[in-house]
Amino acid sequence: MMQLILSEPALQDLSERLSPSGMLKLVYDTDGCGCAVNGVPAIWLVDHPSADDQTITSNAPFEVLIQPNQAVFFEELMMLDRNTTGYFRLASHQQIYSTHVACYDKRGLQSQEV
């Protein structure tokens, strides 16, 4: 079971962004990257899960989602922190995925697949 631990700064930031409602979705974003194997981790704020989304265990008061076919790009235990540059840092015990994880608000795009 995949687990995402959010630091206190990340929890505070995302709780404010998701107020009054919403969910967090961890994605391996390949838009503009050329092909499906070249991508970057990103987080999306969404209204509801897509049909195949799964819940990730986390310490967050909101639901955290991932698409099963994207889970292969991540490890079982990861940490998300908020840095002072306005981005998030995603890491595991083995590696740093990115220190510039962008957060995109996809709420209100319910007619589009996010």
Both tokens assigned to 9: 């700064």
Is pLDDT above 80 for 82? yes
pLDDT at 23: 96
The domain 3-105 is classified under which CATH number: 3.40.190.10, 3.40.50.880, 2.60.300.12, 3.40.50.10540?
2.60.300.12
Both tokens assigned to 81: 């922190």
pLDDT at 16: 94
Whether the ω angle into residue 20 lies within 30 degrees of 0, i.e. cis, is: yes
Assign 111 a pLDDT band (cuts: 50, 70, 90).
very low
Query: Nearest 5°: CA angle at 25, between 67 and 92?
Result: 85
pLDDT at 113: 40
Tens digits of per-residue pLDDT, 15-71? 999 988 899 999 998 765 555 557 899 999 999 999 999 999 999 999 999 999 999
What mean pLDDT do residues 85-110 have?
91
Assign 108 a pLDDT band (cuts: 50, 70, 90).
confident
